[in-house]
Structure 1
């Protein structure tokens, strides 16, 4: 985790939290926000890998910010609340992937939570990469299928003939099937026989 955002109204708490974040290796740089609104602006401008919210904030409690970040970013989100309300806060935000810790903080539990968030974020990044690859593959299949439809409509080919035409065109020109399909879509279809 490289960039962390610490949302806390208390200057007194910021320094030890920032020191713990850098000391644990969870963040190389730390941005600080004194309110939920300021934290939201920073989340829009910067891609942070970790958001730590020291609740309550002056303009909101903090669970709203935690839920917003959990739904709109890939950052690990940690909400720090008073021990008396820890269970209630956890019931509200943990189903959305926000980790809740009671204050005062237990250092070992805090570090363990940071490691857990790092591991979860790493796993999520792997899943997002896989998802992007699958999305590209789906788009490639759609493009090839559209090109086949054009060949079937304008050239009277059957589906296997259209498929073979695109594959042969790709091999002959030493390009991908996607590039060959795009050529067909751009008007490179053979004249009807």
Structure 2
């Protein structure tokens, strides 16, 4: 299944668009305005977040207070904003959702989720405190050891894959970068 968002009208002039090959040699169908000629490019959305851990290896998860998947557990993450780097967005989301103080580390996982037109990027993050002040999007922010993680209550496959990779790396004694394609 190929993702396509339903662009129906030109964002500049409001005319109904037509999906066709643009006249500039592009090889992909695009939403093209027949009135003003503006070509609307559709690109994946970036979801950014962290794998926040204490030095003892416990990981911070947030119980969602919003849809989708209200009441399920997730890593702190959300959509990247304009005018921020992916790392800045990940740190912002961790603060907004968990109220956690962190030291951001290197990129840990990059997950392509083609069916919904998203790329998820999770950064390693060292928790500087075990005290949290969750925002309105979070019911509860809590630390988990691997055997305590509510695996059947994880909100998203990208989060589950990232957590599994983290715990596997921890057991192996080396944290790596994980690139994963999710159908």
What TM-score do the two structures reach when normalised by structure 1? 0.24
Higher strand residue share: 2
**Which has more helix, going by share of residues?**
1
TM-score, normalised to structure 2's length? Answer: 0.25
Instruction: Compare CA radii of gyration and give the structure with the larger one.
Output: 1
